[in-house]
Amino acid sequence: MPSAILWDARPTAQTIIATTGALKNLANAAIAVSDEVENGTALKTKADLLLYVHDFAAAPTAGGYFECHVVYQMDAVYGDGEDGDLADPNLSANTYVGQFPIIATDEDMHISLMGVEIYPHDFKVCVKNSTGQAIPNTDGSYLKIYTYSHESQ
C-alpha cells in the first residue's frame, strides 16, 4: 500500500525576537537571544525561521551572514551549563543549525532558514551578527519561527 508524507496545515508564526527586542542595536559579533520556544510538549520536529533586518547603519561586508544556533533546555537549565537566561551563551558547532546570508546593502532584508531539525525540548534561538556592521538602534528587526511535523499515512 502506498504511503504519503503530509505537512501540517500552514504552521503558525511565533515571533521569538520582537521588533523592540534583542536585534535592536545589535553590534557586529554580538549575540541576540530569543524568547523561549516551548517544544517539550508540542513535540514538533522541524522549524523554519524568518529573520527580518530593518536596516543597517552602512552596507554590510560582502559575504556577511547571521549565524543561527539552537540551545536546548536540559534539566531546567539551558544547554550552555550556565544560568537559564543565556546572558552569555556558550555557542559552538554543537548548537549551530545554519546561517542567514545577507547581501551587501543597507536596505531591509527578509532571510529564511528552512527545515531546521528540532528536538523534544524547550529551546532558545541565538542569532550572532557576523555581517561586519551593527544593526542600528531602531525598531523593526525581528525573528519568527514556524514549527511543524510531517505525518506519514
Domain boundaries along the sequence of the chain:
5-152
Residue 81 has pLDDT above 50, yes or no: no
pLDDT at 30: 93
Q: How confident is the model at residue 86 (pLDDT cuts 50, 70, 90)?
A: low
Closest CA to 57 of 99, 32, 28: 28
What value does the mean pLDDT of the chain take?
87
Whether 18 contacts 144, CB under 8 Å: no
Q: What DSSP designation does 59 have?
A: P
pLDDT digits (tens, 9 = 90+) for 31-73: 999 999 999 888 999 999 999 998 887 889 899 999 999 998 8
Asked: is 5-152 a CATH 2.60.120 domain? The reply is yes
